[in-house]
Amino acid sequence: MSLKEKTQSLFAEKFGYPATHTLQAPGRVNLIGEHTDYNDGFVLPCAIDYQTVISCATRTDRTVRVIAADYDGQQDEFSLDVPIVTHPSQQWSNYVRGVVKHLQKRDNTFGGADLVISGNVPQGAGLSSSASLEVAVGTVFQQLYHLPLDGTQIALNGQEAENQFVGCNCGIMDQLISALGKKGSALLIDCRSLGSKAVSMPEGVAIVIINSNFKRTLVGSEYNTRREQCETGARFFQQKALRDVNIDQFNAVAHELDPVVARRVRHVLTENARTVEAADALEKGDLQRMGVLMAESHASMRDDFEITVPQIDTLVAIVKTTIGDKGGVRMTGGGFGGCVVALVPEALVPAVKEAVAAQYEAKTGIKESVYVCKPLAGAGLA
């Protein structure tokens, strides 16, 4: 049963009438440009064919009722007429509540709704299940009540909800690609202007995502520390963000910086340059160049930004040995576990799966999960 069928049938069963709309927002994978988004830099993600799906309908009152199909049908209910506060025990509820609370600040003309939510974006893997949920909920209210909000505003609303209501200091990339993704393309996003450019994926290339299944958490992890270190670096250069520092400026004074902060800054500056170059390489179908840039990105995350773990480095090495210079592989996502992303000629996908199956668990004691993805369009009808 598809997610669409699942949410529609549960909606009719639990609420006693049929849903009027079924909407989706995808997860994402970032091909290159890691920890550059909150430094006002560039990222190159694509939306993937794993998504959050919501069947929904308007209500005549000011109540929002929500059922989470994937959490044993847990329910939440809250009113639009009183200030929305966090749920005492259901973390998933806070993503919904946060999005609705922040939507009210943008446009308070909408009323209540019934929602049934289900998704297949792997959680805790760095594939943005939370952003997918935030954008899906925003899209629900925008569609049900014809709110004058575009994809960028829905994305910003989701980011605000996650920063201010859920309490995770994420950048804008995850929500933006979920809202604006283009089928068959990655999106080069300028995280300062929020402008984006579609970069078409070469024919015959698969996006292979391998989850290390080494458990990570973002809210309480080193993520916020890295962010502070980058802000310290920007202040040293008297700039608003590291986007405004060039590598020559940095090299001239790197020795004056705290050595840890210097490494963090160097990662961001070089990663930004790599990301812009990668968009060009991808557009030209130059997988060999893309492979070099992805390898440099991974080394920088490992040595300068220090966000990889041995399990991830092992996975990257296995894949790189298998594909050689015919594609690229690196860690993707916030770090400390999660996934690696590989751009691989379709003909080599079976070899990659076999190599990983044969070696990863033997070396780490953990079984991986593999997802072969296509770049999907962003949020809209399911």
Residue 147 belongs to a domain: yes
Mean pLDDT of 112-140: 94
87 and 97 Cβ atoms separated by less than 8 Å: yes
Residue type, 78: F
Residue 30 belongs to a domain: yes
358 annotated ligand-binding residue: no
Q: Give per-residue pLDDT as tens, 286-298.
A: 999 999 999 999 9
Q: pLDDT at position 292, please?
A: 99
Distance, CA of 172 to CA of 208 (rounded, Å): 24
* Catalytic residue selected from 174, 258, 304, 313: 174
DSSP H or E stretch at residue 68: strand 63-68
Report the percent of the chain where pLDDT is more than 70. 99
More confident residue, 369 or 218: 369
361 annotated ligand-binding residue: no
Mean pLDDT of 182-203: 97
Q: Is the pLDDT of residue 22 over 70?
A: yes
Residue 364 belongs to a domain: no
Q: pLDDT at position 221, please?
A: 67
Mean pLDDT of 161-177: 92
**Range of lowest pLDDT (210-219, 263-272, 328-337):** 210-219
Residue 363 belongs to a domain: no
Mean pLDDT of 169-180: 93
For 9, the token pair is 């049938």
Residue 66 belongs to a domain: yes
Look over the chain and give the mean of its residue pLDDT values, rounded to a whole number: 96
Q: pLDDT at position 243, please?
A: 97
State CA 14 to chain mean position distance: 31
Mean pLDDT of 314-331: 98
Is 174 marked active-site? yes
- In this prediction, residue 125 has a pLDDT band, given cuts at 50, 70 and 90, of confident
Give the number of domains in the chain.
Answer: 1
- In this prediction, residue 219 has a pLDDT band, given cuts at 50, 70 and 90, of very low
Mean pLDDT of 175-180: 97
Domain of 142, in residue numbers: 3-198
Residue 281 belongs to a domain: no
Q: pLDDT at position 74, please?
A: 98
Q: Give per-residue pLDDT as tens, 265-286.
A: 999 999 999 999 999 999 999 9
Residue 87 belongs to a domain: yes
128 annotated ligand-binding residue: yes
Q: Give per-residue pLDDT as tens, 27-82.
A: 999 999 999 999 999 999 999 999 999 999 999 999 999 999 999 999 999 999 99
Residue 9 belongs to a domain: yes
Q: Give 235's contacts (C-beta < 8 A, 6+ positions apart).
A: none
**Range of lowest pLDDT (240-254, 279-293, 333-347):** 333-347
CATH code of the domain covering residue 31? 3.30.230.10
125 annotated ligand-binding residue: yes
Burial track 172-205 (b if 16+ CB lie within 10 A, e otherwise): bbbbbbbbbbbeebbbbbebbeeebebbebeeeb
Q: What 3-state DSSP class applies to 163?
A: helix
State CA 50 to chain mean position distance: 12
